[in-house]
Structures are given as C-alpha cells and as structure tokens.
Amino acid sequence: MLKGKTAVITGASTGIGKSIAQSMAQYGANVALIYIGDKNLADDVKKQAEALGVKAEIYDCDVSDFEVSKKVCEKLIADFGSIDILINNAGIIRDGLLLRMSEDDFDAVINVNLKGVFNMTKHLSRSIMKSGAGRIINISSVSGIMGNAGQANYSASKAGVIGLTKTTAKEFAGKNVTCNAIAPGFIATDMTAGLPQAIKQHADATIPLKRMGTADEVANVAVFLASDMSSYITGEVIKVDGGMCM
C-alpha cells in the first residue's frame, strides 16, 4: 500500500515507533528513522527494514531542539528526495503528582511530546505538501483526552498534540495533506513495563477487552492512516485502547 513512499518516524528505535517503522517497511515505504540514545537499537530497526527491500536510514535527533531538528530534516530530505509521511511518535514520561512535579519535569515532557511535533511538522511541511497526498500522523494518548492522575505534564502534552493535529489538518487540507492523531491506551511497551504490577492488574480489570494492547495494533492504524484508504479522513483522533476511554 505504501510502495515508493517515504515515511519519517520519530522515536523509531523502540516501542510503538519501532512497530510503526517495521509496518511501514513491510508495506513498501522507505523509512527515515529518528532516534535518540542507543544507536544499536536504531541500527537493528534499520537492518530489519532493509531486509524487506526498502531504503532505511537512521538519524540521531533531539526533536525538542528546533535548530537540531531543522538540520536533521534538511539532511533526510537530501537523502530521500521527498517526504510523503510523517509519524510524530517521540515521547517521554516524567510522572508525578502536580503538587510535587518540578518545573524541569513539566518542561521536558512538553518540549519533547508537544514542541517536538511542532518542530518536525514545520521543518518537513513543505516537502510533504509537494508530495500531493501527504500524511501526518501524530501519536497522542487517551491521557490527553480524559486526563490521568500523576500525569499533569504528559496529559497536557498529549492534549496539546490533539489540538495541534486539528489545526494542522485545517491548514494543510488545501494541499491535500491529511493530519490525524492516534490515541493509544495501555500498550505493552518498555515504557509501560516499568509500571507497578497493581496498576497493570487494575488496567486489565477495567479495560473492556481485558488486556493491554500491542504496539503492532497501533502500527496497523498508522499504516491505514498513511495509505490511500484514509484519503478522506483528516483531523480525527482514533483511540486504540480496548474500549478504555468511551
């Protein structure tokens, strides 16, 4: 479905981003993999994509830094020629109750989770518009829809992503670029692996489907939104949460 297209995925070395990158490659897209931290993890994703016969490159980039992300975007456009799909997935957590949360923890989460989406979208928007049928997919969270105790920073950042998604959809529609958000619930990743067992058990008990989701289940929705099958969908927030937030 995505043969010949180029997708940029942030936070592509682990978790949901890794699954999205693999799925994009499986459906024929070339992939520019944005990561920060462990280069070996990014290299593994790159090799897996190349084994599927697509072009893949990795880029070490702090998406929260406007100038750094601008230079990386210029580099990947030069490497790939044009960009058709952008998946803004990079995210961090610094959980804590609002009364105890430090300014640094609040700012760090907002800067990566929300400003990072702005930075990457701004720097790649012209290339995406030139594609004629561009797709921007932002990874939000059900926490951004319903809030979550102990996640004032994370919930605020993900709610901001939803607002940014809808505004981007309205501004870019004239260029036939769609912008949608995916709002995962509890997904089994390295990020959720560190949660206390009691919280995991409570999640399994309260989620209507009685289990956490998988990163591949989020990736399936990303592939759909990146494909021509979603050409008349824009400004939407699709929850992948097993019915948790209804």
* Nearest C-alpha neighbor of 108 from the set 93, 118, 119, 121: 93
**Separation between Cα atoms, residue 33 and residue 21, nearest integer Å:** 7
Q: Per the residue annotation, which of 27, 35, 59, 154 is the catalytic one?
A: 154
Residue positions counted in the chain? 246
Please enumerate in sequence order all residues whose Cβ is within 8 A of that of 80, keeping only pairs 6 or more positions apart, or say none. 6, 30, 32, 55, 57
**Separation between Cα atoms, residue 163 and residue 128, nearest integer Å:** 20
Annotated catalytic residue 27:
no
Q: What sign does the CA torsion over 76, 4, 37, 152 have?
A: positive
Residues labelled catalytic: 154
